[in-house]
Amino acid sequence: MICNLEKKSIEEFKTTNILPQTPFWARVKKNQGFIPKGFELTISKDLLFCAANSTEKLNEDLLVLIKYVDATNCFAYIPYGPKLEPTFENQGLFLEQLSESIRPHLPSSCIFIRYDLIWENQWAIEEEYFDNSGNWIGPPPDKTQEYRINFNTINWNLHKSIEDHLPKNTFFLDLSLKEEDILYNMRYNTRYNIRKANRKGIRVREYGIDHIGEWYKLYLETSYRHNIPAQNQEYFATILRNQDNSKKGVSVKMLMADYGGSFLSSMFLVLSKKRGTYLYGASTSGKDNLMASYSLQWESIRLAKEWGCLEYDMFGSAPNLNQAHPLHGVHIFKKGFGGNLYHRMGCWDYPYNKQLYNLYRIQEVKK
């Protein structure tokens, strides 16, 4: 089994559907205080699949973000990476070997490495973790998860993170279908609301950075309404400035729905290779009867399809229909567009300094 890394210029990364593993994401995160590092990962195929030939090699680009927690100590964060996905029984071994291989390339003061895994959750395909209505009830307790993931590892050093960063649960829409079939797969109420918005005169257009202030007004109203900590306006301006505007890179479209000159709803559509991603959304609490958010989402789906995308990532929802979940309303809205619900593994840590790592976990619990 081989796991090697070599430094690679991030701007030379190959195009990918995985937005957080792109040069665009690296530029955005650099403006937010992270230090991006690029690598080319080479592994033997038997590290992914037990019965595979060890002489066969696979390569992928790997974006690693370094974040300092004080003047001396830092941690490494891999957003939605690595992209290569092992069989369930090989996941822990792969992460262990990768963690040890990447360690010499990290600052000596690196406390731990955190993987925000895009891989399908192991417990999302087992019948015992679904209720009688077919709703996923979620994975078992962390200790149970850790026992399985660390199976076959040498150091038994992988830990479920206290918190997850990027969305673990999302809906994916199949954009290879014809528009009429995409509409047909939606819930009746969703189709009705899209058509109602059009009849009422809602118009969706793309706007540039000169309208970032209008976006931000809607965003602040949404944040206050849902009691969510707000980013500053420059955070979103950075997203628009750092796009590639090329099908070889990442393109960002700020879409806004207006009615009689008033903006009612807005979102960021991000296009990367063959995937469109609904990154951020905002809306006013007034004039809900006009269904602007439905029209906005449908236009975003159409634009992604026209751009050549084969799938559309709703980028975040509740894991099930539990009404107590804070994202229950978001889940219902997104579910209406007819996508398939996908559950990721979330964040996993591999400590290099266990004493400092335990202290860091205590601070995360207190947040």
Instruction: Based on the fold, state whether residues 10 and 94 are members of the same structural domain.
Output: yes
Instruction: Based on the fold, state whether residues 155 and 12 are members of the same structural domain.
Output: yes
**C-beta separation of 300 from 266 below 8 A:** no
Q: Mean pLDDT, to the nearest integer, of 226-254?
A: 88
**C-beta separation of 157 from 150 below 8 A:** yes
For position 304, which CATH number holds?
3.40.630.30
Q: How far apart are CA 123 and CA 145, in angstroms?
A: 9
Q: How far apart are CA 363 and CA 367, in angstroms?
A: 7
Q: How far apart are CA 59 and CA 3, in angstroms?
A: 10
Q: For 42-51, 66-75, 112-121, 327-336, which range has the lowest pLDDT when averaged over its residues?
A: 42-51
Instruction: Based on the fold, state whether residues 126 and 192 are members of the same structural domain.
Output: no
Preceding amide of 82 cis, omega within 30: yes
Is 320 part of a structural domain of the chain? no
Instruction: Based on the fold, state whether residues 149 and 114 are members of the same structural domain.
Output: yes
- pTM higher than 0.85, yes or no? yes
For residue 178, name the pLDDT band (cuts at 50, 70, 90): very high
Q: What does each C-alpha distance from 276 to 54, 132, 175 come to in angstroms?
A: 35, 33, 9
- The pLDDT of residue 197 is 93
| Res. 52: pLDDT tops 70 | no
Q: Mean pLDDT, to the nearest integer, of 116-135?
A: 92
- The pLDDT of residue 344 is 96
Instruction: Based on the fold, state whether residues 63 and 185 are members of the same structural domain.
Output: no
Instruction: Based on the fold, state whether residues 150 and 295 are members of the same structural domain.
Output: no
| Res. 213: pLDDT tops 80 | yes
For residue 96, name the pLDDT band (cuts at 50, 70, 90): very high
- The pLDDT of residue 227 is 82
Instruction: Based on the fold, state whether residues 162 and 180 are members of the same structural domain.
Output: no
Task: Give the range of the structural domain holding residue 278, as residue numbers without chain letter.
Answer: 176-309
Domain end marker among 282, 309, 336: 309
Instruction: Based on the fold, state whether residues 148 and 285 are members of the same structural domain.
Output: no
For residue 108, name the pLDDT band (cuts at 50, 70, 90): very high
- The pLDDT of residue 1 is 62
Q: How far apart are CA 128 and CA 130, in angstroms?
A: 6
The number of domains in the chain is 2
Residues 6+ apart with CB under 8 A from 100: none
